[in-house]
Amino acid sequence: MEIDIVALAEPESQIDPKFQTMFKYTRITANAMREALITQKGWAHEELPCEKSISNILNRLGFCLRRVQKAKPLKKVSETDAIFDKLNEINKASDLCEDSLRISIDTKAKVDLCDSSRGGTSRCRKAVKADDHDMGLKDKLAPFGILNMMTGLFTVIFGVSFETSDFIVDCLEQWWDDNKSQYGHINQLVINLDNGPQNSSHRTQFMKRMIEFADKNNLEIVLAYYPPYHSKYNPVERCWGFLRTIGARRC
């Protein structure tokens, strides 16, 4: 039953926007989960525990029903629900297809290469010294994350450029070159991503590079975009949240 609960809760969940907890926040209630187990997974009413028990199971699995900051986007386009329905359809079809691989990608804010404190703390006998100003710095690192939805493996590639269309596709090509030997049977690559300015379907340079990537590797590329203002539902966001939480705990 837990496997079915996770399958139903994952598409409805998001990471804590503040990255203060490893819980994922789900939009589906315990009562709705119970109904979904019956209507979508074929469970009989008498086979399932009560609503309270299902709520406890959700919490134990890391899904928490809570209002958090930005839980509801400030904006919502009229097509949001339809986009989510189509996205879930594409994801499910990919996960069930043996020659399809689904990944989730995202870039994070650039990081300055310097000895700045940024308000951080360090548990040590002697305080670590840092620069008091960041002025004049030009070198930066741009982190790009790729989450393999089949294996759960999260890969982070750092670049010294800005977040551009070329940088995104360069990272994808590097990741595929490093992993394609184990995916010789894959003919389709489904990519979950947000509709940012650098990887938008309207960005001609991004689409040009993606077509070249597909042709070079003989792959069918499916770009599965999350609705505008809803990128926090992209699964890779939870990996960034996990890394932020682990980093905070080690301080």
Q: Which residues contact 203 (CB under 8 A, 6 or more apart)?
A: 165, 197
pLDDT by residue, tens only, the chain of 251 residues: 888 888 888 777 766 655 555 566 677 788 888 988 999 889 998 889 998 898 888 888 878 765 554 445 556 778 888 999 999 999 999 999 999 999 999 988 666 666 665 555 666 666 666 666 555 556 778 889 999 999 999 999 988 877 889 999 999 999 999 999 999 899 999 999 998 888 888 899 999 999 999 999 999 999 999 998 888 889 998 887 666 655 444 44
Nearest 10 degrees: Cα torsion 206, 207, 213, 216: -140
SS3 state of residue 241? helix
Chain CA centroid to CA 198, Å: 17
> Strands 220-225 and 188-193, how do they pair?
parallel
For the entire predicted model, the pTM comes to 0.65
Contact 227, 196 (CB under 8 A): no
Q: What is the largest CA-CA distance in the chain?
A: 67
What is the end-to-end Cα distance of the chain in Å, rounded? Answer: 38
Angstrom distance (rounded) from CA 107 to CA 146: 9
SS3 state of residue 24? strand
What six digits make up the tokens of 247? 């980093």
